[in-house]
Structure 1
Amino acid sequence: MRVAVLGGGYAGLLVTRKLEERLPPGDELVLVDETGDHLVQHELHRLLRYPDLVEDVSIPLTELTERADVREATVEDVDTDGRVVQLDDGTLDYDVGVVALGSQTADYDIPGVAEHATPLKRIEHAAALRREFFDVVDTGGGTVVVAGAGLAGIQTAGELAALAEGEGVADAVEIVLVEQADAVAPTFPARFREAAHDALADCGVRIETGTTVTAVGEDDVETDAGSFRYDALAWTGGIRGPDALGGERRDVRADLRLDERTFVVGDAARVVDADGERVPASAQAAVRASPTVAKNVERVLNAARNDEAAAHLEKWAFETPGWLISVGDDAVAQLGPEVFRGTAANVVKSSVGLTYLAEHGSLRAALRVLREELGDERVVPEP
């Protein structure tokens, strides 16, 4: 029997690692990923300031798996009825499939966004935004706009503001964060939103909420409140499904099953959990759903061996201990009802990153990221 896991992000990697433990030796486990590397997405914004971290936040999947066959290819289409995956270099059939292809940045068909804005989903995006920032510096300064004030937008704006401060050009380069809703982090609890707003303001970000982008030109952003000039534009204004799913995020219930033999997990899914709650698209949700998917894949496979339909699949309920974001050198943490910033929040944020990298990457990579975040050369010596 063959299990195909499509995508090597948080969900795809963790499902694969669980299945390596659960599947019998005779079953084939294939992990397909476009780059062949696992990107630690929650640290991607750090590359705006610390480009040398690139090798520590992008880790070859062959180093993170044991028995899976890692195949580097682009998934172009998934035929769940025929259980066939169309790749850019051929096809792959499966007995049970897991679609964990993540999401892409949505431009909502706003004129000019695709042509003029840079998203922040890949390493090359971070490198491009960093180049664009320094182009602004080299021409004497200007305005860098970040469109979209979800968690990614907040972290991007904060990192750019910290980069400007660190380069001594904070007076010449203005960072502007634009958000359609009336608050930053609009889908999060009020105290978290307020703390994130204050952290952004404290690091010098100009915040424009209640502002809808309607078009983007070569050097100006048009909004329902008027237009303003920009010199570099980052777009973090929402997500859509992967191209292999027609750009749609697929709706699934708490067992994460798309059909009898196919599951979908991570940002590619729109999940209503066992409590009837809509689950937010986040790395945290992808990580927490992965064990349930692995268990259900095993149950479906066992039933398929006997030509039976699997029954009584495990249901998943999303529970979160809180939320963490970095805002430049600051951080905002919500653990239970408590929201805090500063040193304590930074320690929690860095510890979460350290734990993830140490468990799923390498200890040295984890310590290098921690050293850069805390600015302490004593954390780990250079090799």
Structure 2
Amino acid sequence: MRVLVLGAGYAGLTLARELERRLPADADLTVVNDSPYHLVQHEVHRVVRHPSVADAIQVPLDEALQRAEIIVDRVEHVDHDARAVALAGGETLDYDYCAVCLGAETAYYDIPGLESHSVPLKRLDHAKDIRARFFDDCDEGGTIVVGGAGLSGVQVAGELAALRDEEDARTDIVLIEQMDTVAPTFPENFQRAVRDELLDRGVDVRTETAVQSVTETTVTTDTGYLDYDMLVWTGGITGNGAMAGERPPVRADLRLDKQTFVVGDAARIVDADGEPVPASASAALREAKVAAKNIAALVDYDDCGDENDFPPRPEPYRFEVPGWIVSVGDGTVAQVGPSIFRGSAAKAMKTTVGAGHLTSVGAVSQAVDLVEEELNP
């Protein structure tokens, strides 16, 4: 019996750790990831201003996992009909059950010039590139445009504004968003607080502004032209190449078919109440625990169930999170229930969230390092 977990982001690592605990001893568990590290994605933006954070937000997989076989390779293709996974290195892995946790990639929507002239923010190298370009092209003035005002765009715009202020630069930070508000998929009171925090940090926020084309120096929008020195693009997500660029729809049992699960940002998930689930770390973590429980129950049934028994009914995932949190430079906005927090209380919550996740995957020393970085930047 072989169980594959593809990807070791929030969903993948959490699911694999749960399976290590739940699967019977004779089941083979294999984790495939394109890096030997788990990356704490929601802290990547901080590397733009504080490169030393990089060490605290990378967790070696061989320390986080105790039982699973770890294969460091890129997944090229998932053939769920054949129950086979092709890797970039040439190996093909067959499976009895598979959890696709490959996350999502940056979407460019076929906008002319956008991909070739912008920097995304998905990996540490992207954050390092943004920092280098700031000091090469923008620390003495100019304009940085951040496209997309979801949480990633808000965070990188805030970080760049803080870096500008630290360097006493005369750089304009412009955040553009085609919807009529920042953080458009979140509650209205959270949106208002995030916008206020951005404005307080000196970010020029322009909503209802859609990008139409990009050249080396100019962003053309439906409201006019915007000259820039650096363009950071966080304006949407699309599926991983191994899934043909698709984020397949899955329902609350998180299954693409009877033996293949898709978890986290890799899928468009509808929960047990029929509600679409936003792509977020908090959702991915909770989805992973449900998927692990369902996979373990199926493996147990295959190993021990009588042929006359009905297979286990999968547990549905229901989207429930206590709130939302986003950093904006040295500021933070948090929502817990109906209440909005800014300032030191919100920042303490943000520190707790990051350190709590690291602790949950066994990276206690990195959790301590992250807290120290947060409190003594």
For this structure pair, what is the TM-score category when the shorter chain's length is used for normalisation? over 0.9
Say yes or no: does 1:304 pair with 2:302. Answer: yes
2:77–2:243: 8 Å Cα contact kept in structure 1? yes
Task: For residues 12-44 of structure 1, give each alpha carbon's deviation from its aligned partner in whole angstroms, at most 9, with x where no partner exists.
Answer: 000000000011111100000011210000110
Give the aligned partner of residue 41 of structure 1: 41
| TM-fit CA distance, 1:300 | 1.8
Give the aligned partner of residue 173 of structure 1: 171
1:147–1:153: 8 Å Cα contact kept in structure 2? yes
| TM-fit CA distance, 1:309 | 7.1
Say yes or no: does 1:98 pair with 2:96. Answer: no
Alignment of 1:151-300 (within 5 A): 151-169=151-169, 172-300=170-298
Superposition CA RMSD, Å: 1.3
Q: Which moved more, 1:214-223 or 1:305-314?
A: 305-314
Task: For residues 183-234 of structure 1, give each alpha carbon's deviation from its aligned partner in whole angstroms, at most 9, with x where no partner exists.
Answer: 1001111110000000000000001110000011001100001111000110
Q: In 1, distance between residues paired with 2:46 and 2:361?
A: 19
Give the aligned partner of residue 20 of structure 1: 20
| TM-fit CA distance, 1:135 | 1.2
Task: For residues 243-293 of structure 1, give each alpha carbon's deviation from its aligned partner in whole angstroms, at most 9, with x where no partner exists.
Answer: 000111011111101101010000001111111111000001000111110
Q: In 2, distance between residues paired with 1:218 and 1:309?
A: 61
| TM-fit CA distance, 1:361 | 4.8
Q: In 2, distance between residues paired with 1:282 and 1:212?
A: 23
For residue 337 of structure 1, what is the amino acid of its counterpart? Answer: P
Give the aligned partner of residue 137 of structure 2: 136
Q: Tell me, what secondary structure is at the counterpart of 2:52?
A: helix
| TM-fit CA distance, 1:103 | 0.3
Q: In 1, distance between residues paired with 2:10 and 2:36?
A: 13
Structure 2 unaligned spans of 5+:
none
For residue 237 of structure 2, what is the amino acid of its counterpart? Answer: I
* Ranges of 4+ aligned residues in structure 1 off by more than 6 Å: none
For residue 364 of structure 2, what is the amino acid of its counterpart? Answer: L
Give the aligned partner of residue 340 of structure 2: 339
Task: For residues 138-180 of structure 1, give each alpha carbon's deviation from its aligned partner in whole angstroms, at most 9, with x where no partner exists.
Answer: 5x320011000000000010011011111121xx111110000
**Number of residue pairs matched by the alignment:** 373
Q: In 1, distance between residues paired with 2:102 and 2:69?
A: 17
- TM-score of the two chains, using structure 1 as the length reference: 0.95
2:23–2:299: 8 Å Cα contact kept in structure 1? no
2:138–2:144: 8 Å Cα contact kept in structure 1? no
For residue 32 of structure 1, what is the amino acid of its counterpart? Answer: V
For residue 71 of structure 2, what is the amino acid of its counterpart? Answer: R
Q: In 1, distance between residues paired with 2:244 and 2:302?
A: 28
Q: Tell me, what secondary structure is at the counterpart of 1:51?
A: coil
Q: Tell me, what secondary structure is at the counterpart of 1:320?
A: coil
Q: Tell me, what secondary structure is at the counterpart of 1:62?
A: helix
Say yes or no: does 1:323 pair with 2:324. Answer: yes
For residue 266 of structure 1, what is the amino acid of its counterpart? Answer: G
1:260–1:309: 8 Å Cα contact kept in structure 2? no
Q: Tell me, what secondary structure is at the counterpart of 2:335?
A: strand
- TM-score of the two chains, using structure 2 as the length reference: 0.97
2:138–2:229: 8 Å Cα contact kept in structure 1? no
Q: Tell me, what secondary structure is at the counterpart of 2:25?
A: coil
- The structure showing larger relative contact order (alpha-carbon pairs under 8 Å, at least 6 residues apart) is 2
Structure 1 unaligned spans of 5+:
377-383
1:136–1:173: 8 Å Cα contact kept in structure 2? no
Q: In 1, distance between residues paired with 2:364 and 2:97?
A: 33
